[in-house]
């Protein structure tokens, strides 16, 4: 869980950062369907040019193996239940899915996240889409692995504030959870390590692929419109958008940290990666997010300050706002309006086919035995 990304596309509506505003979105999960199963393809007026050899660097491959925690169906099933279970939080009201809502691109649609008791967090909630391909975790990279990251929000007092002793007692007391843990981790105890591994295994199954861009890479020259194809040329051209310098590779991220010039209020500066690795270049630097499914995860930037993808492009086009310690790759782009619109159109092609996501049936505590009340053989009437 924790910090960072988006809601639905180029929405310019104000985002209300209240716990009440988030609850309807989370309640929407209870419909058992998180996202539609079809990605619409706009009618292509004409075939676009085929990809060149260098474009294949953006092809998304198989999930990278994790020797220390290989994915199994049993681990994913357990992680699925844990991910949606609010009983893991300190007061039983917040789950991982409270911030990473599949109906909102596995983010929360808010400028910054909201934790336990309505606490407004300082950073936006990042999507967990394609987190299996990441090598860096959290906005500032403080987590060493996805397993480490999975426990981070639970240990944070402002996020889930989990009482681990009480949580382990709860999980161990429920027959259904004991069965799930035994299937996922035979012979291993229910503890922090197995909880983290199960949550990480489930998150690695959240994969966005088979986007229209991917289908174009596979040779379907009608998968993109001419405008979208032009936007990709702007995206990768160092003399134009120069986006691929950071949003590179199959997951459209270099897993690096950059200061992109997002303005910060005086006295409320976020040090970013510098708090983890005290190098001058890391002041105000944050991890490059994936662009897979980016149209589903507004608002943008680590503080949610850009309401739409066009606002993101406009930010980069003017070379950022806060010029102090700016990354050397951020500079005024001088793109025309048509080029910016083409670039936004291209980013929409990175939305993969969306699976149907069902809420798990959470294991319940055994019912307390009902006390039997002895009845007299000859009841005495109240009138006697």
Q: Is residue 94 part of a domain?
A: no
Q: Is residue 141 part of a domain?
A: no
Q: What percent of the chain has pLDDT over 70?
A: 83
Instruction: Residue 285: count other Cβ atoms within 10 Å of its Cβ.
Output: 23
The full length of the chain comes to 384
Q: State the pairing for strand pair 286-287/257-258.
A: antiparallel
Alpha helices in 96-191 (DSSP H): 96-99, 146-155, 164-173, 175-184
What digits encode the pLDDT tens for the residues 193-210?
A: 999 999 999 999 999 999
Q: 259: cis peptide before it, omega within 30°?
A: no
End-to-end CA distance of the chain: 66
Q: Is residue 309 part of a domain?
A: yes
Count the domains in the chain: 1
Q: Which domain holds residue 251?
A: 209-348
Q: Is residue 130 part of a domain?
A: no
Distant-in-sequence contacts of 57-62, Cβ < 8 A, 24+ apart: 57/248, 57/249, 57/250, 58/213, 58/217, 58/249, 58/250, 58/252, 59/214, 59/217, 59/250, 60/130, 60/133, 60/209, 60/214, 60/250, 60/251, 60/292, 61/250
272: left (phi over 0), alpha (psi -120 to 50) or beta: left
Per-residue DSSP letters for 50-97? PPPGGGGGG---SPPP-TTS---HHHHHHHHHHHH-GGGSTTS---HH
* Radius of gyration from C-alpha coordinates of the chain: 24
Higher-pLDDT residue of 369 and 384 is: 369
Q: Is residue 252 part of a domain?
A: yes
Report how far residue 134's alpha carbon sits from residue 34's, in angstroms, rounded to the nearest whole number: 23
Taking residues 333-346, what's their average pLDDT?
A: 98
Q: Is residue 296 part of a domain?
A: yes
**CA dihedral (308, 310, 316, 320) positive or negative:** negative
Higher-pLDDT residue of 21 and 48 is: 48
Q: Is residue 37 part of a domain?
A: no
Higher-pLDDT residue of 139 and 21 is: 139
Q: How confident is the model at residue 41 (pLDDT cuts 50, 70, 90)?
A: low
Report how far residue 233's alpha carbon sits from residue 229's, in angstroms, rounded to the nearest whole number: 7
Residue 167, pLDDT > 60, answer yes
pTM for this predicted structure: 0.84
Which residues are part of the catalytic machinery? 159
Which CATH number fits the domain that encloses residue 253? 1.10.760.10
Strand partners, 257: 287
Range with the lowest mean pLDDT among 31-45, 104-118, 134-148, 269-283? 31-45
Residue 142, pLDDT > 80, answer yes
Taking residues 307-319, what's their average pLDDT?
A: 98
Q: Is residue 90 part of a domain?
A: no
Report how far residue 233's alpha carbon sits from residue 347's, in angstroms, rounded to the nearest whole number: 12
CA distances from 173 to 85, 190, 367, 369 (A): 15, 11, 12, 15
Q: What is the pLDDT of residue 267?
A: 84
Largest CA distance in the chain: 99
Residue 344, pLDDT > 70, answer yes
What digits encode the pLDDT tens for the residues 65-90?
A: 999 999 999 999 999 999 999 999 99
Q: How confident is the model at residue 356 (pLDDT cuts 50, 70, 90)?
A: confident
Taking residues 105-114, what's their average pLDDT?
A: 97
Range with the lowest mean pLDDT among 17-31, 157-171, 256-270, 307-321? 17-31
The answer to whether 285 and 274 are in contact (CB under 8 A) is yes
Q: What are the counts of helices (DSSP H) followed by strands (DSSP E) for the chain?
A: 11, 2
- CB contact burial 92-120 (16+ within 10 A = b; e otherwise): eebbbbbbbbbbbbbbbbbbbbbbbeeee
């Amino acid at each position: 869980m924790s910090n960072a990304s988006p809601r639905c596309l180029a929405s310019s509506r104000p985002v209300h950062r209240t716990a009440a505003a988030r609850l309807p979105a989370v309640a929407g999960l209870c419909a058992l369907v998180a996202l539609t199963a079809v990605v619409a393809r706009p009618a292509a007026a004409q075939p676009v040019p085929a990809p060149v050899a260098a474009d294949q660097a953006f092809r998304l491959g198989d999930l990278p193996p994790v020797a220390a925690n290989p994915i199994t169906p049993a681990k994913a099933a357990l992680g699925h239940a844990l991910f949606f279970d609010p009983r893991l939080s300190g007061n039983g009201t917040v789950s991982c899915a409270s911030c990473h809502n599949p109906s909102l691109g596995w983010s929360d649609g808010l400028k910054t996240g909201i934790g336990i008791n309505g606490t407004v967090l300082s950073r936006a909630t990042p999507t967990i889409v394609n987190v299996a391909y990441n090598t860096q975790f959290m906005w500032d990279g403080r987590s060493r692995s996805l397993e480490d990251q999975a426990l981070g929000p639970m240990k944070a007092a402002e996020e889930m504030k989990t009482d681990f002793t009480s949580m382990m007692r709860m999980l161990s007391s429920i027959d259904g959870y004991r069965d799930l843990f035994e299937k996922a981790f035979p012979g291993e105890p229910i503890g922090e390590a197995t909880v983290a591994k199960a949550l990480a295994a489930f998150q690695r199954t959240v994969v966005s692929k088979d986007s229209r861009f991917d289908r174009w890479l596979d040779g379907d020259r009608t998968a993109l419109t001419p405008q979208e194809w032009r936007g990709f040329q702007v995206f990768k051209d160092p003399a134009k958008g120069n986006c691929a310098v950071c949003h590179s590779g199959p997951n459209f991220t270099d897993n690096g940290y950059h200061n992109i010039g997002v303005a910060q209020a005086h006295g409320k500066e976020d040090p970013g990666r510098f708090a983890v690795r005290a190098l001058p270049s890391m002041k105000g630097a944050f991890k490059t997010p994936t662009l897979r499914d980016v149209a589903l995860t507004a608002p943008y930037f680590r503080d949610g300050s850009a309401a739409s993808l066009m606002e993101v492009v406009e930010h980069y086009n003017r070379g950022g706002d806060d010029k102090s310690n700016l990354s050397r790759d951020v500079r005024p782009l001088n793109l025309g309006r048509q080029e910016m619109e083409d670039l936004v159109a291209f980013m929409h092609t990175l939305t993969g086919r969306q699976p149907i996501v069902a809420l798990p049936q959470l294991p319940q505590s055994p019912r307390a035995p009902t006390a039997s009340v002895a009845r007299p053989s000859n009841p005495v009437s109240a009138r006697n």
